[in-house]
A and B are shown apart, each in its own frame.
Chain A
Amino acid sequence: MSPVEPDPPPEAAEGLAEQAAAVAPLLEDSAEDLYENAPCGYLSTLMNGTLAKVNGTLLSWLGYRREELVGRRRFADLLTIGGKLYHETHFAPLLQMQGEVHGIAMELKAADGARLPVLITSAVKTDAAGEPLLIRTTVTDARDRRAYEQELLRARRSAEEAHREAERSREHLHEVVAVLQRSLLPPSLPLVPGLDTAAHYHTASPDHLGGDFYDLFSLGGGRWAFCLGDVCGKGPEAAAVTSLARYTLRAAAMNDADPEAVLHTLNSVLCERYAEADPRYCTVVFGLLEAADPAGAGVDITLAGGGHPPALLLRDNGTAEYLHTPGGVLIGILPSPPIAVVRARLEPGDTLVLYTDGLTEARTPAGRYGDEQLLAHASALAPSAAEPAVKALTDLLESFGSGLDDDTAILALGVPARAEENSTSSPC
């Protein structure tokens, strides 16, 4: 029957003609019948909203008889309370302004109180002079569509719940990592008479435990020990080594405070604990602090290094230098590693700074930050007390931004400058 179809073969043409003849009586139903029994609801209202005409389909959906609605109720009476409000505030004004409104989702209230989700389309019919006469409305059953939307909403809610759950797990992981990380460091540095101290720990990622550590503790008799180190690797395995290293250093120092002996003990413990297949090692400096002379200010330092980057000395006279521990080998791989020992004296105004290689290995636009630049930076800082020195290096770390991808520990020990030079930093 379509004009674009090629001529059907004679027998097919006969078939189509027969079908058309069979359907013809059915198609003869009136426009009125189509209106009454259309697969959607129709209604017309006066401009004041009073229902003037409702088709049979809508009546059957709602369970009303025609005489219950026509001339008696307004369109808004068929809406739920929310629908009424929406009709009042949006739908009716929009209709008045535009003359038509398309596809608005609403709920109709059936005679038995059931709610019927529908899509409403309305248009204003005007007379020849353009004066509005009545409003014609089409009502489409939207139950399937509503069910589909609710399914989507349910899916979205469960996806959101899964997302929140993942976020909670992640927060929990961060909490656990943060608590464990804190347990690897002293909660706060002890007050050491005649010494300024400060420390900073930069965590590269809240997801991973870092392997850097530092410590400062009393050995009694006015002697103090300090250490700073970097365990290879990241994560829980590295953290276990870190914990072992820190407590081994403490225990070893209590037994024999000689820094070289302390590092040998740590080496034996790590070699014994970690089999050859999975080497676990650390670079570490361990130092001893003793009052240089009971009468005066100043501290003698004995520093043992096992493969660790050199310490920095910020002198009172405004210079900076490296305190190298050359020849020391990292701890945990050789049965009897060479350990380098150096001695230095901190005079008033001098500050010793220990750090891990996160600082010097940070990526900058000009390559790795490196020890030359660090020394230049330290020279510009000197003289500096412990706290401002750590603050300045923390600022430096922050300036690296994403170029800093490793954990970094910094520990500074300074002898306060002489009172007459700086009255605010008298010995404690």
Chain B
Amino acid sequence: MLNTTTRQTSDGPVLDIHGDLDFHTVPAFRKTLEGLTLTPGQRLELNLAGLRFCDSSGITAFLVARNVAATAGAVVALTGVPETTFRVLRIVGLDQVFVIEPAERAEADSA
């Protein structure tokens, strides 16, 4: 199950993600991403605070977001990243690719 809501801020759109990013939910999520309107210099924020589960399909979704943003001259930030997802992102090296703001607990742990 995945529930995504989009809101606009002065920096750009924010996608609040609730539920699972997996093999079953990612195709719909990709459609949401590809339907976004982004302008150069904007920041696309994926708020993962409500993310329960993320497998490699989820990683692919983040990369799609990156491509969508790059095409529009925008950047992607992952915020509220849960500790488990942050660990996976670090293993695959994507902590070097995305602007990542971990969830507060993870931030405190890694500080």
Contact = CB atoms under 8 A, between A and B. Distances in A.
Interface in B29-81: 55-57, 59-60, 63-64, 66-67, 70-71
B63 A307 contact: no
Nearest to B22: A405
A242 to B, nearest CB: 14
B84 A329 contact: no
A380 interface: no
A333 interface: yes
Contact of B97 (A232, A276, A329, A357): A329
Among A308, A328, A333, the most chain B Cβ lie within 10 Å of the Cβ of: A333
B91 A279 contact: no
Given A233-B56, A329-B97, A361-B55, A368 B84 contact: yes
A355 interface: no
Nearest to A278: B64
Given A232-B60, A233-B60, A333-B97, A307 B84 contact: no
A329 B67 contact: no
Contacts of B94: 307, 329-330
Contact of A330 (B55, B66, B92): B92
B23 A329 contact: no
A206 interface: no
Contacts of A230: 56
B96 A329 contact: yes
Interface string B86-106: 000001111011000000000
A279 B64 contact: yes
Interface in A299-348: 306-309, 327-330, 333-334, 337-338
Given A234-B23, A307-B91, A333-B97, A277 B56 contact: no
Contacts of B56: 230, 232-233, 357
Given A277-B67, A361-B55, A327 B92 contact: no
A368 B87 CA distance: 12
A330 B93 contact: yes
Interface in A124-161: none
B93 A327 contact: yes
B92 A233 contact: no
Contacts of B67: 276-277, 279
B91 A309 contact: yes
A232 B59 CA distance: 9
Given A308-B91, A309-B91, A338 B96 contact: yes
A158 to B, nearest CB: 34
A235 to B, nearest CB: 10
A283 interface: yes
A271 to B, nearest CB: 12
Contacts of B55: 361, 406
A201 interface: no
Given A233-B56, A308-B91, A338-B93, A333 B63 contact: yes
Nearest to A279: B63
A283 B57 contact: no
A330 B95 CA distance: 11
B93 A233 contact: no
Nearest to A230: B56
A338 B55 CA distance: 23
Contacts of B64: 279
A403 to B, nearest CB: 14
Contacts of B96: 327, 329, 338
Interface of A: 230, 232-234, 276-277, 279, 281, 283, 306-309, 327-330, 333-334, 337-338, 357, 361, 368, 406
13 contacts: A233-B56, A234-B23, A277-B67, A279-B60, A279-B64, A279-B67, A281-B60, A281-B63, A283-B91, A308-B91, A308-B92, A329-B97, A338-B96
A-B pairs with lowest CB-CB distance, top 5:
A329-B93, A307-B92, A307-B93, A279-B63, A276-B67
Given A230-B56, A232-B59, A329-B96, 16 more contacts: A232-B56, A276-B70, A279-B63, A279-B64, A281-B60, A281-B63, A307-B93, A308-B91, A329-B92, A329-B97, A330-B93, A330-B94, A333-B63, A334-B97, A357-B91, A368-B84
